[in-house]
């Protein structure tokens, strides 16, 4: 029975799941970064990533190679993220969190509208980052693109980790998230740390978008809406305050959904999302703070 | 003795509620000055006003510069280390990371590294726990960490807010012993806010007593000790 | 003396409000009454959400789903069981309230953002769930009243007669919706002022403190969810009656967002500004389209408007009015 099982297919589907999950992980990390510093889920994170992807498309359209556009877009998105925080979030820095959440909702519409205004709604394509040829690893065929996506996602996560653990700025970012008032007493310009966080988040979102778009073939302004959903789900699964959780949660979710799609028939594409959400809800009921989240023990 | 910090008629409010109704005090270079008073008298608010954490009016001059309008970050950069009520340790970060952050506004990695060693020599318990998460330390150790972190700034003035809060008497004694030692040996200037009037008066050379947001009594600590009202209300005999 | 003056002012304001409500249809076109009726639907849902989020501190992004329950209950009763549309309203409310109660149960274990995400999941999943049970719900096409049960629609002929007064269908819908809305507001006001309101606020401000004071957290949270569910269900039902159709697209996640936006713009934790919140959510899309029809611009304007309003009024209209009125209220309620 075990020998008849198609291990090849399992391996292939798992890699695909990791590839997709990796793009979700990047957006999830962006969400966690902003959640830890600003205290809300940025509902516009996906749209900002979509906007970045359109910028990348425009750059490629003007003659740049994919990778040139890739890095330039990251830089532009970084600056853009900082700008968004300074203009839109800073005025409500001291307001209740729900107010800030509504601002991000407004930002969602604003960025979505801007993208439709600047670039019309027709579909476009972004060239693939990696070739779409299959590659043979230990006798099993994998797509280079999937492996490449995984590599980029992992690379970004590692870079971020290095930033936070070993640099002064990273330390200041962490301190500002943990205790903003105390950080100010230490001389840290917490307000600018917030802006920096938004810049980093925007950059990560841009990478997520630029990896997602080629994989889909063609894309339009709706590109990142589903990704946002899964990124939120992955981040919640892993525990909202935890960057590791966001990554692990999203990867797990990616693999899980891909495998479910392959092996379970009665869950058609329509029910995939609700099913995934139901599973996450179940996990939350058992571990209310997610897999890696910290719970203040409350048994009231 | 040069005046390092001067407050003149400082008022502060939390929203609509006024907490300080015109406080004036001075701290000279190399002094330990205490601010005493009951709960709600405005002691903590005074320190927060100096640091700029609360809306304030009136004049505050530090080392010849007017800081009445400056942000907390700017005040810290001038060399004021504020150890807030409840220690303010960044609990998710390690002891070492906390110390590094103490020196955030300074440049010169070599000097900072040397200071880290020096400071840890003062606080051997912390040296053993360098990589431990600050939140897992005991109350006394966290107070030591907060003090050590303040020293990493090479501050000209340390604002200490209720260091004895939640600590056992023997630990409180140790904390104040270290403060006195640093003051005697290195000339550290300290403004300490305390509810424990006894130990604060023993450690300081001068003190102010706040009542309802105003200075009610002031003078050399020795004299205040013998002052009838102060004895009755704050020393318990 | 001052208290009496305060009460008198208040009564005057309320009377003026009611008078305005009664008379408004005379000054607007018939079509406009329909728009106002729809604003009323938002209003009811917003009041309900405010009880849950503003007063009890429980975040829900799933109110669109609860409205769907109410709307579909009405639709199913009308088209399958041939009930008169208006009589389904209480049933829709209770059904949604029951579902709200069920949603409240996981809320006991989840807090804050996790609850928001769980309810968000519900809202996102609802259209798919509705499509799945197509036998009952009509699947993607939904249920169309005119096709299946035209006789149950009040005012299909174009006019409605109540207590001898004759009025157009749109006017009827306006009065129906806003009367229910005002009754709902009054009930909410009574709840908020009473003991339960205090308990709600206690839970919002500190669950641990509330429990230490003997509050049964489970009871209160589920009660709050159920209560706001009833409001949402009634709102959904009225929406179905107004549009005479339900389908999965009537109740997307966007609706949950709109209600939340309306509640925050109106002012959480206060009942005063909620009417403005409802009007904001109802009319902003139209205004945005008015400014320009070019693709993307309406969305852009819409988003910008939301952002600007939140920056200017971080506590919503209610919070702003409170601050404005503070000199007056302080004067009224302090002893000379």
- Domain segments of chain A as ranges: 11-121+128-286
SS3 B173: helix
* Residue pointed to by tokens 């309101």: C197
SS3 B165: coil
**Which two structure tokens, joined as six digits, stand for C258?**
């709109």
| Residue C149 in domain | yes
Does the pLDDT at position A28 exceed 90? Answer: yes
Does the pLDDT at position A1 exceed 60? Answer: no
Instruction: Among C114, C304, C311, select the one facing A284 at the smallest CB separation.
Output: C114
| Residue C283 in domain | no
| Residue C184 CA neighbour count, 13 Å, CB half | 31
Q: Do A183 and B51 touch (CB under 8 A)?
A: no
CA distance B16 to B20: 12
What value, to the nearest 5°, has the Cα angle with vertex C289 and ends C284 and C292? 130
Q: Do A188 and B93 touch (CB under 8 A)?
A: no
A144: Cβ contacts below 8 Å, ≥ 6 apart? A130, A131, A132, A133, A134, A135
Does the pLDDT at position B237 exceed 70? Answer: no
Nearest-neighbour CA in chain C from A132: distance (Å): 33
CA distance C68 to C152: 20
Q: How far apart are the first and last CA of chain C?
A: 10
| Residue C112 in domain | yes
CA distance C49 to C265: 13
Query: What string of H, E and C letters represents the secondary structure of chain A?
Result: CCCCCCHHHHHHHHHHHHHHHHHHHHHHHHHHHHHHHHCCCCCCHHHHHHHHHHHHHHHHHCCCCHHHHHHHHHHHHHHHHHHHHHHHHHHHCCCCHHHHHHHHHHHHHHHHHHHHHHCCCCCECCCCCCCCCEEEECCEEEEHHHHHHHHHHHHHHHHHHHHHHHCHHHHHHHHHHHCHHHHHHCCCCHHHHHHHHHHHHHHHHHHHHHHHHHHHCCECCCCCHHHHHHHHHHHHHHCCCCHHHHHHHHHHHHHHHHHHHHHCCCCCHHHHHHHHHHHHHHHHHHCCCCCCCCCCCCCC
Taking CB atoms and an 8 Å cutoff, what residues of chain A touch B77? 187
Q: Do A103 and C118 touch (CB under 8 A)?
A: no
Nearest-neighbour CA in chain C from A146: distance (Å): 28
Q: What is the mean pLDDT of residues A157-175?
A: 91
**Which two structure tokens, joined as six digits, stand for A51?**
């906007």
| Residue C304 in domain | no
By CB atoms closer than 10 A (0-12, 13-18, 19+), residue B169 is exposed
More confident residue, B199 or C17: B199
Q: What is the pLDDT of residue A297?
A: 43
β partners of residue B21: B11
Instruction: Among A112, A270, A285, select the one facing C299 at the smallest CB separation.
Output: A112
Nearest-neighbour CA in chain B from A186: distance (Å): 6
| Residue C159 in domain | yes
Interface test with A, best of C265, C296, C313 (most A CBs within 10 A): C296
CA distance C45 to C98: 16
By CB atoms closer than 10 A (0-12, 13-18, 19+), residue B139 is middle
Q: Answer whether B67's CB lies under 8 Å from B59's CB.
A: no
Does the pLDDT at position A201 exceed 90? Answer: yes
**Which two structure tokens, joined as six digits, stand for C276?**
């403005």
* Residue pointed to by tokens 């609990």: B91
Lowest mean pLDDT among A59-73, A197-211, A261-275, B122-136: A261-275
Instruction: Among C128, C211, C298, select the one facing A113 at the smallest CB separation.
Output: C298
| Residue C116 in domain | yes
Closest alpha carbon within chain A to B93:
A175
Instruction: Among B76, B97, B100, select the one facing A185 at the smallest CB separation.
Output: B76
CA distance A187 to A42: 27
Q: What is the pLDDT of residue A3?
A: 61
CA distance C79 to C163: 27
Q: Answer whether B144's CB lies under 8 Å from B176's CB.
A: no
Looking at domain A11-121+128-286, which of 1.25.10, 1.20.58, 2.30.30, 1.10.3470 is its CATH number? Answer: 1.10.3470
Instruction: Among C268, C297, C302, select the one facing A98 at the smallest CB separation.
Output: C268
Nearest-neighbour CA in chain A from B171: distance (Å): 23
Show which subunits contact B, needing at least 3 CB pairs below 8 angstroms: A
Nearest-neighbour CA in chain B from A184: distance (Å): 5
Nearest-neighbour CA in chain B from A284: distance (Å): 24
By CB atoms closer than 10 A (0-12, 13-18, 19+), residue C82 is exposed
Lowest mean pLDDT among A80-89, A151-160, B72-81, C288-297: C288-297
A296: confidence class by pLDDT, cuts 50, 70, 90? very low
Taking CB atoms and an 8 Å cutoff, what residues of chain B touch A185? 51, 53, 72, 76, 81-82, 84, 88
What value, to the nearest 5°, has the Cα angle with vertex A181 and ends A180 and A186? 90
Q: What is the mean pLDDT of residues A98-116?
A: 92
Taking CB atoms and an 8 Å cutoff, what residues of chain C touch A300? 207-208, 211, 217
User: The domain containing residue C54 runs over which residues?
Assistant: 33-253
- Summarised one tens digit per residue, pLDDT across range A221-242 is 888 988 998 998 888 888 887 8
The distance of Cα A125 from the centroid of its chain, to the nearest Å, equals 20
Q: Do C314 and A109 touch (CB under 8 A)?
A: no
CA distance C89 to A300: 37
Q: Answer whether B25's CB lies under 8 Å from B208's CB.
A: yes
* Global pTM value: 0.87
Q: What is the mean pLDDT of residues A118-134?
A: 81
**Dihedrals φ, ψ of B27, to 5°?**
-130, 125
Share of chain A above pLDDT 70, in %: 95
ipTM above 0.90, yes or no: no
CA distance B92 to A217: 43
Give the dihedral sign, CA A179/A185/A188/A189. Answer: positive
Q: Which of A271, A292, A269, A280 is nearest to A234 (CA)?
A: A280
What domain count does chain C have? Answer: 1
| Residue C92 in domain | yes
C210: Cβ contacts below 8 Å, ≥ 6 apart? C199, C202, C203, C217, C220
Residue B90 in contact with partner chain A when CB distance is under 8 A: yes
SS3 B120: helix
Q: Which of C17, C13, C26 is nearest to C174 (CA)?
A: C26
**Which two structure tokens, joined as six digits, stand for A137?**
């690893």
Count the Cβ atoms, other than its own, within 10 Å of residue A49: 32
Query: What string of H, E and C letters represents the secondary structure of chain C?
Result: CHHHHHHHHHHHHHHHHHHHHHHHHHHCCHHHHHHHHHHHHHHHHHHHHHHHHHHCCCCCCCHHHHHHHHHHHHHHHHHCCCCCHHHHHHHHHHHHHHHHHHHHHHHCCCCHHHHHHHHHHHHHHHHHHHHHCHHHHCCCCCEEHHHHCHHHCCCCCCEEEECCEEEEHHHHHHHHHHHHHHHHHHHHHHHHHCHHHHHHHHHHHCHHHHHHCCCCHHHHHHHHHHHHHHHHHHHHHHHHHHHCEECHHHHCHHHHHHHHHHHHHHCCCCCCCHHHHHHHHHHHHHHHHHHCCCCCHHHHHHHHHHHHHHHHCCCHHHHHHHHHHHHHHHHHHCCC
β partners of residue B206: B33, B220
Count the Cβ atoms, other than its own, within 10 Å of residue C109: 15
**pLDDT in tens for each of the 336 residues of chain C?**
677 887 888 788 888 888 888 888 777 777 888 888 999 999 999 999 999 888 888 888 889 999 999 999 988 888 888 888 788 899 999 999 999 998 888 777 777 777 887 788 888 888 888 887 777 777 777 788 777 777 767 766 667 777 767 777 788 888 889 999 999 998 998 888 888 888 888 888 887 788 888 888 888 888 889 999 999 999 999 999 888 888 888 888 889 989 999 999 998 877 778 988 999 999 988 888 888 878 888 899 999 999 999 999 988 888 888 888 877 777 777 766
Count the Cβ atoms, other than its own, within 10 Å of residue C8: 10
Count the Cβ atoms, other than its own, within 10 Å of residue A107: 23
Q: Do B92 and A181 touch (CB under 8 A)?
A: no
Does the pLDDT at position A299 exceed 60? Answer: no
CA distance A171 to A265: 48
Q: At what angle do helices C30-49 and C169-193 cross, to 10 degrees?
A: 20
Q: Answer whether B180's CB lies under 8 Å from B168's CB.
A: no
| Residue C260 in domain | no
The distance of Cα A179 from the centroid of its chain, to the nearest Å, equals 25
CA distance B130 to B145: 10
Q: What is the pLDDT of residue A71?
A: 94
Q: Do A185 and B105 touch (CB under 8 A)?
A: no
Count the Cβ atoms, other than its own, within 10 Å of residue A297: 6
The distance of Cα C116 from the centroid of its chain, to the nearest Å, equals 18
More confident residue, C79 or A272: C79
Taking CB atoms and an 8 Å cutoff, what residues of chain B touch A172? 101, 104
Q: Do A188 and B101 touch (CB under 8 A)?
A: yes
């Amino acid at each position: 029975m075990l020998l008849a099982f198609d291990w090849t297919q399992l391996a292939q589907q798992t890699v695909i799941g990791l590839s997709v999950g990796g793009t979700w992980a990047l957006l999830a990390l962006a969400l966690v970064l902003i959640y830890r510093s600003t205290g809300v889920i940025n509902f516009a994170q996906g749209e900002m990533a979509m906007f970045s992807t359109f910028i990348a498309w425009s750059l490629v359209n003007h003659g740049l190679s994919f990778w040139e556009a890739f890095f330039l877009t990251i830089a532009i998105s970084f600056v853009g993220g900082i700008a968004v925080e300074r203009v839109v979030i800073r005025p409500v820095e001291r307001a209740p969190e729900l107010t800030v959440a509504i601002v991000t909702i407004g930002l969602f519409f604003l960025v979505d509208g801007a993208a439709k205004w600047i670039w019309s709604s027709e579909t476009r394509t972004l060239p693939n980052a990696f070739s779409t040829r299959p590659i043979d690893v230990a006798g099993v065929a994998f797509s280079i693109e999937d492996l490449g996506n995984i590599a980029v996602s992992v690379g970004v996560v590692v870079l971020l980790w290095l930033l936070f653990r070993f640099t002064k700025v990273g330390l200041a970012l962490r301190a500002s998230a943990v205790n903003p008032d105390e950080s100010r007493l230490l001389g840290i310009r917490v307000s600018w740390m917030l802006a920096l966080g938004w810049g980093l988040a925007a950059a990560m979102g841009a990478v997520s978008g630029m990896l997602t778009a080629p994989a889909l073939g063609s894309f339009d302004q709706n590109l990142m809406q589903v990704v946002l959903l899964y990124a939120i789900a992955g981040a919640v699964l892993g525990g909202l305050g935890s960057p590791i959780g966001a990554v692990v949660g999203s990867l797990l979710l990616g693999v899980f959904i891909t495998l479910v799609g392959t092996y379970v028939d009665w869950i058609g594409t329509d029910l995939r999302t609700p099913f995934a959400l139901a599973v996450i809800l179940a996990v939350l009921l058992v571990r209310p703070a997610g897999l890696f989240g910290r719970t203040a023990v409350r048994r009231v | 003795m040069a005046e390092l910090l001067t407050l003149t008629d400082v008022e502060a409010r939390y929203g609509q509620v006024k907490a300080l109704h015109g406080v004036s005090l001075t701290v000279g270079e190399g002094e330990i000055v205490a601010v005493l008073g009951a709960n709600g008298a405005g002691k903590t608010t005074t320190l927060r006003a100096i640091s700029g954490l609360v809306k304030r009016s009136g004049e505050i001059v530090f080392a010849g510069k007017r800081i009445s309008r400056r942000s907390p970050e700017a005040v810290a950069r001038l060399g004021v280390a504020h150890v807030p009520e409840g220690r303010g340790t960044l609990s998710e970060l390690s002891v070492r990371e906390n110390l590094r952050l103490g020196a955030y506004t300074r440049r010169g990695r070599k000097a900072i590294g040397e200071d880290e060693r020096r400071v840890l020599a003062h606080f051997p318990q912390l040296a053993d726990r360098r990589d431990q998460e600050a939140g897992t330390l005991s109350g006394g150790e966290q107070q030591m960490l907060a003090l050590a972190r303040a020293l990493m700034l090479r501050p000209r003035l340390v604002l200490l807010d209720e260091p004895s809060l939640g600590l056992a008497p023997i630990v409180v004694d140790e904390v104040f012993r270290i403060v006195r030692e640093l003051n005697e040996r290195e000339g550290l200037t300290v403004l300490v806010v305390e509810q424990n009037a006894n130990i604060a008066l023993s450690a300081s050379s001068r003190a102010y007593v706040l009542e309802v947001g105003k200075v009610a009594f002031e003078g050399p600590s020795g004299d205040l000790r013998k002052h009838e009202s102060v004895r009755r209300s704050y020393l318990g005999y | 003396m001052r208290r009496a003056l305060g009460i008198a002012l208040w009564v005057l304001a309320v009377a003026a409000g009611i008078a305005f409500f009664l008379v408004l249809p005379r000054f607007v076109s018939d079509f406009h009454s329909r728009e106002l009726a729809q604003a009323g639907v938002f209003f009811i849902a917003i009041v309900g959400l405010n009880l849950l989020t503003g007063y009890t501190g429980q975040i829900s992004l799933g109110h669109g789903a609860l409205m769907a329950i109410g709307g579909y209950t009405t639709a199913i009763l009308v088209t399958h069981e041939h009930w008169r549309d208006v009589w389904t309203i209480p049933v829709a409310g209770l059904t949604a309230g029951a579902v709200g109660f069920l949603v409240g149960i996981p809320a006991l274990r989840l807090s804050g953002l996790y609850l928001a995400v769980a309810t968000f999941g519900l809202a996102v999943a609802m259209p798919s769930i509705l499509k799945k049970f197509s036998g009952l719900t009509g699947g993607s096409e939904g249920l169309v009243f005119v096709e299946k049960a035209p006789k149950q629609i009040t005012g299909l002929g174009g006019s409605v007669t109540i207590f001898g007064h004759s009025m157009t269908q749109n006017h009827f819908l306006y009065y129906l919706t806003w009367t229910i809305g005002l009754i709902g507001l009054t009930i909410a006001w009574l709840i908020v002022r009473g003991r339960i309101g205090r308990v709600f606020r206690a839970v919002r401000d500190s669950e641990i403190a509330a429990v230490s004071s003997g509050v049964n957290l489970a009871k209160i949270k589920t009660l709050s969810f159920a209560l706001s569910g009833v409001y949402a269900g009634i709102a959904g039902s009225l929406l179905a009656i107004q549009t005479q159709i339900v389908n999965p697209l009537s109740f997307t996640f966007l609706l949950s967002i709109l209600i939340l936006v309306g509640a925050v713009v109106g002012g959480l934790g206060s009942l005063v500004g909620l009417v403005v919140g409802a009007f904001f959510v109802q009319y902003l899309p139209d205004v945005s389209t008015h400014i320009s029809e070019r693709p993307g611009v309406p969305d852009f304007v819409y988003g910008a408007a939301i952002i600007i309003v939140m920056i200017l009024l971080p506590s919503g209209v209610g919070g702003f009015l409170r601050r404005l009125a503070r000199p007056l209220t302080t004067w009224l309620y302090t002893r000379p």
